[in-house]
Chains A and B, each alone.
Chain A
Amino acid sequence: MKEALVLQSRVAAHPEARCWFLAWSPNGNLIASCGGDRAVRVWGRDGTEGGQLEACRAVLSDGHQRTVRRVAWSPCGSYLASASFDATTCIWKRCQDGFECVTTLEGHENEVKSVAWAPSGSLLATCSRDKSVWVWEVDEEEEYECVSVLNSHTQDVKHVVWHPNQELLASASYDDTVKLYHEEEDDWVCCATLEGHESTVWSIAFDGSGQRLASCSDDKTVRIWQCYKPGNEEGVTCSGNDPTWKCVCNLSGYHSRTIYDVSWCRLTGALATACGDDAIRVFEESTSSSSPQQQPTFSLTAHVARAHTQDVNCVAWNPKEPGLLASCSDDGEMAFWKYQQPELC
């Protein structure tokens, strides 16, 4: 089983610090890393066919005064957003010889934990330890305006992600819940609260269809939530026109410490996790399940026990190359893995 995930290369991405997060560019040719050294680095292939992503293309070190916690590419690939403990989010624009900081988004009271771009590219979400989620609108002049401040969470908000093709936003928090938001009569509202995790929810990921959401937590479980629209055949009750999200699978007993990140591959459906026990695990849905909609079952298809020498903070599937997985760790390194899908029984 271990051979299902094969190491391709390791890079000392942030040698003096923790590497917190990685983000692939939409075309899968570049990867951005960020960390405790306050820098963002952009990496690309060294020009040869199938070359490793070891060439550092840009170092963005003058934007932030403190740790850069997460980075996100715009859907067009021309912009990179960086969320920092210095309470700001920087927007970087690709230019001829690298990246240029074009805007700094201010407003959060303290650490910004995450940033995400909506699929249209015209909306951006940020979240913070100040318990709020902000939705920003980008106009044609590249001006950013905050259009909503969402205060539904009662604690530190850890992560925000957008639905793959709708303007539906999800957030995960230290208050142990996941919340979903959409626009209603010109205002953003919380339309669902997903309860079940017993501790901090660190990260969330939609599947390719957007009908399911995976969440991972300090409670050492991964939960799969399914969307049920009003009038669904399964008879799941909905209030008004809002769909209901129900936990249909709980992956428990696989992780020995906090799970910091989850990535759901849009190409293959494989689900990868980053854990505080230094391991990377991959799960796949078993097709033999009798009622896959209502009760899907996932099985462990890869487990690399010492993927890094310290906590794994992030896992990210390449959006174009099936099975190419990137990970990063408290040890400052970034690693690339090739995942071979085993035959599922």
Chain B
Amino acid sequence: MVGPGAAPLENANPLVYRRSGERPVTAREEDDELPDSIDDREIFDLIRSINDPEHPLTLEELNVVEQVRVKVNDAESTVVVEFTPTIPHCSMATLIGLSIKVKLIRSLPERFKMDVHITPGTHASEHAVNKQLADKERVAAALENSHLLEVVNQCLSARS
């Protein structure tokens, strides 16, 4: 897990995708009397504006995250997010996955089990990255590392 350095960009000219529109709020959601469960779109809204570590673009604009790759089951308190690195040798894959994970940990109720992994077949070190992201002990240790936490927070901070 390393932050972006002064090295040349790995993927200098990424494809940029159109952002999705604002989510329309339904009448049911505005009714405080009705239980309001967390859905895929809500999770997607939490992660789509995360910044890419090396481009001035969001994960949504780079198609790293897509709503169809978010699966939430509110009743069972599970969230599964698949993300797609822009290139198969992307060295930022773990950092991107960690940023998604941290955003979800900070935003969702503690009952949720979050699984963040690479879209199958889209990264050369898919298994190793997935294993590291799934290891909560290593994630906990990484988040006690102030340098790494600063890099993650930069990815998570909203651009002005």
Contacts and interface: CB of A to CB of B under 8 A. Distances in A.
A338 to B, nearest CB: 26
Given A199-B131, A218-B134, A311-B136, A129 B141 contact: yes
B140 A67 contact: yes
Contacts of A129: 138, 141
A309 interface: yes
Interface in B104-160: 110-111, 113, 131, 134-138, 140-141, 144
Nearest to B144: A66
Nearest to A202: B137
Contacts of B140: 18, 36, 67, 85
B30 to A, nearest CB: 30
Contacts of A36: 140
Contact of A310 (B111, B134, B138): B111
B55 to A, nearest CB: 31
A111 B141 contact: yes
A166 to B, nearest CB: 29
A309 B141 contact: no
Contacts of B136: 311, 330
Contacts of A111: 141
Main secondary structure of the interface of B (DSSP, over half): helix
Taking each of B111, B134, B136, B140, which has the highest tally of chain A beta carbons within 10 Å of its own beta carbon? Answer: B140
Main secondary structure of the interface of A (DSSP, over half): loop
A158 B137 contact: yes
14 contacts: A36-B140, A66-B141, A85-B140, A129-B141, A158-B137, A174-B135, A199-B131, A218-B131, A218-B135, A257-B113, A276-B113, A277-B113, A311-B136, A330-B136
Given A85-B144, A199-B131, A200-B131, A69 B137 contact: yes
Contact of B110 (A66, A277, A310): A310
A282 B135 CA distance: 24
B99 to A, nearest CB: 20
Contacts of A258: 134
Closest 6 CB pairs of A and B: A111-B141, A66-B144, A85-B141, A310-B110, A85-B144, A309-B111
B110 A331 contact: yes
A113 interface: yes
A54 interface: no
Contacts of A199: 131
A110 B135 CA distance: 16
Interface in B38-96: none
Contacts of B134: 218, 258
